[in-house]
Amino acid sequence: MSIERPWLAHYPAGVPAEVDIDGYSSVAAVFEESFKKFRDRPAFSNFGKVLTYGQLDELSAAFAGFLSGEMGLKQGDRIAIMLPNLLQYPIALFGALRLGLTVVNTNPLYTARELHHQLEDSGAKALVVLDNFAATAQHALDGTKVQKVITTAVGDMVGFPKGNIINFVVKSVRKEVPPFRIPQAIRFKDALARGKAHALPAVTIKPDDLAFLQYTGGTTGVAKGAMLTHRNMVANMLQTRPWVAGFAKLGEETVITALPLYHIFSLTVNCLIFASLGGLNHLITNPRDMKGFVKELRKTKFTAITGVNTLFNGLLNTPGFDQVDFSHLHLAMAGGMALQRSVADRWQKVTGRVIIEGYGLTETSPVAFANRVDVTGYTGAIGYPIPNTDAQIRGEDDRVLPVGEAGELCIKGPQVMKGYWNQVEETSKAIDADGWLRTGDIAKMDENGQAFIVDRKKDMILVSGFNVYPNEIEDIVARHPGVNEVAAVGIDDEHSGEVVKLFVVRKDPSLTEEALREYCRENLTGYKRPKQIEFRDALPKTNVGKILRRELRDEDRRKRAKA
């Protein structure tokens, strides 16, 4: 069946319909090239400390040497990395990938229950974790295959004396490091020192080898590991790079990296693409500290920034942001969640630059669509399919729908994941026999091939760019002895796009809202916790007893509209 590709006629100048995705055999090969080509240029900076590509080469090789020479990790083994945006992250990431390991990116804010599931499911043999979250790791390790843990403090790679001061403040002044005891743990700096005695093993990494197990939720409420191969990740870099090539100069870009590198958007766009361009990733460790974030921006000559709608909105509402020097900025990119017109228009007014919106999923490594970089304002669209990418809008009967009709967005391309880790049935639901990925998003496409997201087919809730799945929330809350029935829905929120609201039928009449909130604090990561709780006598259901989440969501919206 021939596929019409009207979007090709609207590509930016110099962007081909297809790129050679076999330019590199692996993600590691991309870094190896950058280590040689940009050896003396800055690669990552954090807390005033800068690592050049040459230094990153040496440090990541030492880390790989330790993992193989002293920990006995071999090609194909899984290693979990539980770090925020610190210099330790690229060192650990590049070292693991150069060794042919599969990286399991782990959210540092996970509860012990969430972390245990990910470690157990992935079969990770090692964990790199920040001291701040090591107590969580301690309670999550039992029953997993993790044999070795590498711990580190925030300022460990910043150098003396600043790093020591940072560590003292974090631990002793702010009290941000709960006590922990992990007997088999080794310090990150010790691992680097000992790793220098071991040569980087020669490994042959094939394009179809797994680079990442990137966990995402699912309709069953169980987090699944999207298997992203080296070919997936390299392809997405090579597909996306020409899109921004006219706006990026080799060895001269400084990108503000506030989105966590463990998130697929930041991982591919900031870490991979900008590294391939010899750019500098300026790491923001705590973007929630908006005052500190703006202070950092005011002393940095940055040329690019990536973010989600809530991050751009937060910056705009922080005093002093309008005094930042935007004269060097030429690329602002948004993904992860819908960009709101009010935020886009205000950003353009304050900075003089347009935010370029794209679209992707963990399952597409992640970029699948992007607006042209030369747009002059907010479009409301997610843009066009990028090179080597096909897209269709399909109806309930899997029939391709005509232009302008809304249906499920389906994507095919070399960036589509291999499947879900140990989830054959879930994989077959997501990817058909011809390789088309069902996104679960409802979209429509105009005659030019430009796509617009209409709604979500699934009941997924999107909080600040992170997927929250109602089944997981409901499963946890339903375990509370005072809860009879529960439904979790997403309601609109001006700060985070959506937040979680619970509708609860009590089993114990004395159950209070605060008691339920405390229970959720103990069992759910922050962004998954309900912001609103409403107790009811009954919940609406279908004739077979399925709770009607959409009815609850729509009813809530009607109430809010009248308020």
- Tell me, yes or no, whether 167 and 45 share the same domain: yes
Residue 220, pLDDT score: 42
Q: What is the pLDDT of residue 15?
A: 94
Residue 210 lies in a domain: no
pLDDT at 471 over 80: no
* Residue 499 and residue 521 share a domain: yes
Q: Which of 458, 489, 514 is the last residue of a domain?
A: 458
- Please give the Cα distance from 280 to 293 (Å, whole number): 17
Tell me, what's the pLDDT at 40? 98
Domain assignment of residue 527, given as a range = 461-562
Residue 244 domain flag: no
Quick one: tokens of 57?
């080469």
Whether residue 266 sits in one domain with residue 356: yes
pLDDT (0 to 100) of residue 557: 87
The residue from 393, 425, 458 where one domain ends is: 458
- The alpha helices in 247-308, defined as continuous H runs, are 264-265, 274-276, 290-298
Say how far apart CA 495 and CA 463 lie, in whole Å: 9
Domain count, the chain: 3
Residue 68 has pLDDT above 80, yes or no: yes
- Residue positions counted in the chain: 563
Residues 37, 10 share a domain? no
Q: Residues 491-498: what's their mean pLDDT? A: 90
Write down the pLDDT at residue 313. 87
Both 196 and 262 in a single domain? no
**Mean pLDDT computed over 339-354:** 93
pLDDT at 219: 38
The answer to whether residues 18 and 63 belong to one domain is no
Are residue 351 and residue 259 in the same domain, yes or no?
yes
| In the predicted structure, residue 106 carries a pLDDT above the cut 90 | yes
Phi, psi of 392 (to 5 degrees): -140, 155
What pLDDT shows up at residue 542? 62
What pLDDT sits at residue 158? 98
The answer to whether position 390 is within a domain reads: yes
Residue 1 has pLDDT above 60, yes or no: no
Which two tokens mark 359? 């679209």
Nearest alpha-carbon partner for 225 in 145, 89, 118: 118
Q: Which residues partner with 126 through β-bridges?
A: 79, 148
Domain boundary among 400, 427, 458: 458
Tens digits of per-residue pLDDT, 290-328?
999 999 999 999 999 999 888 898 899 999 999 999 999
Structure tokens, 187: 């310090």
Instruction: List the beta strands (DSSP E) in 395-522.
Output: 407-412, 419-420, 437-445, 451-456, 461-463, 466-468, 483-493, 497-506
Q: Are 172 and 117 part of one and the same domain?
A: yes
Residue 211 lies inside a defined structural domain of this protein: no
- CATH at residue 500: 3.30.300.30
Is the pLDDT assigned to residue 414 strictly greater than 80? yes
Residues 406, 424 within the same domain? yes
412 and 468 belong to one structural domain: no
Q: Which domain CATH number covers 169?
A: 3.40.50.980
Mean pLDDT of 384-409: 94
Contacts of residue 183, defined as CB under 8 A and 6 or more positions apart, other chains included, come to none
Residues 6+ apart with CB under 8 A from 257: 85, 266, 270, 271, 281, 282, 283, 284, 306
**Are 329 and 279 part of one and the same domain?**
yes
Global confidence as pTM: 0.88
